[in-house]
Amino acid sequence: MSDTHDEDAVPAAGEPHSGAPEPVERLHQLQRRLAEFAAARGWQPYHTPKNLAVALSVEAAELVEIFQWLTPEQSAKVMEKPESAHRVADEVADVLAYLLQFCEVLGVDVLDALAAKIERNELRFPVAETPTSNRHSSE
């Protein structure tokens, strides 16, 4: 990590997280770090909602590609092999990075949006008294 002693600094990959901030604050710090990374390289003109949504979709597809031909049993064990675990972690990071940048550009608080969506889903899909009445939204 750099030699600065910035209170908002987020440890780089592989650095210890002793005294790390709460998860919500860490998420916001990472979001700021992504914005600063893009700004330092002059990428803001390219970080439009459309471009970020497309990039997010591409990265999600790269995550799907890892699982494309695996059986359900193989997919459940993908994190047991270092090579595939590394690929999954990288793609998850890419998806999250683009999602956070997308939210930053549009002013969406990702945690508030998720909490609101969970609340709507809890109302939409109440816990059923019998297991056979539980249906997924795709049914």
Contact 95, 101 (CB under 8 A): no
Q: Report if pTM > 0.75.
A: yes
**Looking at per-residue confidence, does 7 or 80 come out higher?**
80
In which band, very low, low, confident or very high, does the pLDDT at 15 lie, cut at 50, 70 and 90? low
pLDDT, residue 68, reads 97
Q: Taking Cα atoms as reference points, which of 65, 68, 59 lies closest to residue 95?
A: 59
**Cα–Cα distance for residue pair 87/134, rounded to 1 Å:** 34
Contact 30, 8 (CB under 8 A): no
pLDDT per residue over 64-106, tens digit each? Answer: 999 999 999 999 999 999 999 999 999 999 999 999 999 999 9
Instruction: Tally Cβ neighbours within 10 Å of residue 52.
Output: 21
- pLDDT of 8 > 90? The answer is no
In which band, very low, low, confident or very high, does the pLDDT at 21 lie, cut at 50, 70 and 90? confident
